Amino acid sequence: MHVPDGFINAPVSVAAGVVAAGAVAVSLRGARRELDERAAPLAGLVAAFIFAVQMLNFPVAAGTSGHLLGGALAAILVGPYTGVLCIAVVLLMQGILFADGGLTALGVNITVIGVVTVVVAYALFRGLVLVLPRTRRSVTVASFAAALVSVPASAAAFTLVYAIGGTTDVPLGKVLTAMVGVHTLIGIGEAAITMLTVGAVIAVRPDLVYGARGLSSPCAQGAWGHPQLKLRVDGELVDAAPSRQATPAPGSPKKVWIGGVIAALVLAGFVSFYASASPDGLEKVAAEQGFDKSAEEHAAAGSPLADYGVKGIEAARLSGGLAGVIGVGVTLAVGTGAFWAVRRRRQHADGAQV
């Protein structure tokens, strides 16, 4: 659902840019609290992984495809503030290097794809986690629901922006119905990807999932929903004290990081070749409602990586795969560098307070 140049007029694009800049500024401050020794090494990986999965358009209806937005996934894995920054990094790399999403519409895209999805998804996720049993399954179920709702919410947000600053006079009621309808279907795919990814990380290192950290402490049902050990004392059953050996200190996230990088490279470099070539939800609705003609040529259309292919390489499979690998590498490098810089500022601030 990357908004191209020309869909939204200049004043509203500037206003959305101000909103996006404000959200990024707030997220930079909030991310200092989230980027601890566990989240900091993984935040850049999350951005790179989302970039890779966004290349995998999947069919959702006749002649329509969808792809991951990633706001829910990022927020649950590394925190809502860091999640906004992850999506901003992805959108920036896509716009500058791959001519995907207009440069004048970057503020609109960060607001609609990043801020809205993160806020809606994480609010719903936290609410569900509070009322569901304290188990790993509850976390994955909550992630599914949060991701599902975040996508049509993002579509509705775009329609609102278009109602204010759209450059073509179209029936907004029909646009809203079409956008929310098709993106609800896309949301099912988003929810499945988010649930499977969160579930995979929880199965290996639950301590690395930001949205699940509060559940890792022992409770009446035992940690993560496992039955608490009982002892009979003077004829009464009492909870046994948790064994220190039962909860060993977590090790380095290096294995998770390496596995995630490999997965992102494989998805972007190989699996992306089999992605659906059908237009995504926004492109389809724009064509049906007649405002696709207002799209302008991207300022980076002449980029060597425009349209996710390496210029000069004729073989489509090699060109697309190499572009995907480059994209993953650049996003990983930029994201990791940015998040480590934020982490260092937190350390400096903590040291100044001592």
Average pLDDT over every residue of 60-81? 95
Q: What are phi and psi of 287, to 5 degrees?
A: -70, -40
Average pLDDT over every residue of 266-291? 95
pTM of the model: 0.89
If we measure between CA atoms, which residue out of 59, 27, 62, 23 comes closest to residue 43?
27
Q: Give me the pLDDT at residue 254, please.
A: 87
Amino acid identity for residue 145 in this structure: A
Amino acid identity for residue 133 in this structure: P
* Token pair for 28: 């930079």
Q: Where are the beta strands (DSSP E) in the chain?
A: 58-61, 64-66, 230-233, 236-239
Residues paired with residue 280 on neighbouring β-strands, in sequence order = 65
Average pLDDT over every residue of 137-164? 97
Q: What's the CATH number of domain 10-238+276-353, 1.10.150.120, 1.10.10.60, 1.10.1760.20, 1.10.1660.10?
A: 1.10.1760.20
pLDDT digits (tens, 9 = 90+) for 240-277: 555 444 444 566 788 999 999 999 999 999 999 999 99
Statement: residue 151 has pLDDT above 60: yes
Q: What are phi and psi of 59, to 5 degrees?
A: -70, 140
In three-state secondary structure terms, 3 is coil
Q: Give me the pLDDT at residue 244, please.
A: 47
Domain boundaries, the chain: 10-238+276-353
Q: Give me the pLDDT at residue 352, please.
A: 55
Q: Give me the pLDDT at residue 217, please.
A: 44
Q: Give me the pLDDT at residue 236, please.
A: 61
* Token pair for 302: 């002449």
pLDDT bracket for residue 226 (50, 70, 90): very low
Q: Give me the pLDDT at residue 198, please.
A: 97
Q: Give me the pLDDT at residue 191, please.
A: 98
Of 188-192, 243-247, 342-346, where does mean pLDDT reach its minimum?
243-247
Rounded Cα distance, 153 and 174, in Å = 16
Q: Give me the pLDDT at residue 238, please.
A: 53
> Mean pLDDT over all residues of the chain?
89
